[in-house]
Amino acid sequence: MMTRTAQEQQAYERFRAIAGDFVIPKQMIRNNSDDYRRQVFEEGVRPNQLWVARHEGYAAYVAIVSVGADERTVVAMPMDGDLDVQTRDSLIMLHDTPLGLPMVAWPALTTEIPVRLLAKPAGEFAESDMRIFVSGHPDGIRVQQGASPRFSMDEAIYDEMVAHIRRWHDMCAELPQLEPQKASAGVSLDRVAAMKELMRKMGMSLEDAAAVVDRTTPATDKQRRTLAGIGISLDDIPARTSTLPKDLLIEVEQPRWRAEADQYAARMEGDARLNLAQSAFALAARRTGHGRESWRGALMQAADGDTGRK
């Protein structure tokens, strides 16, 4: 049996004393349920929600102030559940937060970030509380003014958060350009027909056919002859662009597609969301219906690698 040093035993007893008094708030249990996540994914992102944003291994709480004019972005305020990282320009809410625990907010760091970074819904603030946060001024009752960090480690945690928030904001400029809604805007119908012919005649997967048509994989003579049989030359197909229907580009950025995009990233190089949207467009070139919801079936089909062949 392992034995503890006196210092380790003291730390262990302190942890047990703290943990023994801790009760997981009901809000936290509810907000971690699969049913709650499905409900929020279905209803979509909206103001006052609290989310966990995540990118490349770093995660942070953000409160949604508003949905951007470009619906692929949100105006978000960074938050934290650790009061030790508070700063003089932060605001503290001790009770009635979506986590059921005290939280720190930084109104001065509010900025626009891509919706694609939102990984997990974590509840919702009362609208009146969000108004206080957005104002940047405590009400002295529910929301208090923050203080300077007590330890240098806490300052480092804060500095890291600021660096990531700024990087997340810069990512907005990297989103594919939105074009006015047009039928097959900027996407060659020959490209769609060529992919379908390669899938039908040569048994290729959607990803492999797209790679040939987009000339990221060299075409074989047999593949070229197959396309020539329907009057298509790869050399005449315009280079692949990010110009896709606006509703599709907005829908694929939503949090409900994060897991599918992560899985899709392992199957194709480049921007997983854009690749997923390109594949969905190819599968649903003759789709019926309008609006973002009409693309969901094709996106799921593309994410599952279903080429539509029976």
The confidence score (pLDDT) of residue 181 equals: 44
CA distance 286 to 303: 18
Mean of pLDDT values over 189-214: 86
Residue 170, C-beta contacts closer than 8 angstroms, at least 6 positions apart: none
Q: Are 78 and 62 in contact (CB under 8 A)?
A: yes
Across the chain, mean pLDDT equals 84
Mean of pLDDT values over 183-194: 65
Mean of pLDDT values over 233-238: 80
Using the structure block, give the residue that is written with the tokens 């110009």: 243
CA distance 293 to 248: 9
- Is the pLDDT at 300 greater than 50, yes or no? yes
Structure tokens at 117: 């970074």
Confidence of residue 19 (pLDDT cuts 50, 70, 90): low
Model pTM?
0.72
Of these ranges, 26-30, 138-142, 189-193, the one predicted with the greatest mean pLDDT is 138-142
Mean of pLDDT values over 9-31: 66
If you write DSSP's letter for every residue of 239-306 in order, what string do you get?
PP-S---HHHHHHHTSGGGHHHHHHHHTTSSS-HHHHHHHHHHHHTTT----SGGGGHHHHHHHHTT-
CA distance 304 to 297: 11
